[in-house]
Amino acid sequence: MLPIVKREPEKAKRQMNLPQAVPTELRDYQRDYQRDYQEMNEVEISLNFIIERILIQPMKRDKAFQTWKVTGKADV
């Protein structure tokens, strides 16, 4: 059974130590993804939308998470 996890406050901040190149690569990825998405769909998207789409993909494939989401309990 999956443990019940308390939701963190929306404005929680986490301190991360990343190599200098990572933020630049992420910005480049974001810019390229936004440009490509806009060219394909003729709609601009925000960074929040990109993050949400990236985070939701593993959850869609996780059968235990889907079971828990629907029933509140998971088969272990």
Sorted by where each begins, the domain ranges of the chain are 22-71
Q: What is the pLDDT of residues 59-68, one digit of tens each?
A: 888 888 778 8
CA angle in degrees (0–180, nearest 5) for 66-70-72: 100
Q: Could you tell me the end-to-end alpha-carbon distance of the chain, in angstroms, rounded to an integer? A: 6
User: What would the pLDDT profile of 30-42 be if each residue is shown by its tens digit?
Assistant: 888 888 888 988 8
Would the pLDDT of 76 be above 60? no
pTM over 0.75? The answer is no
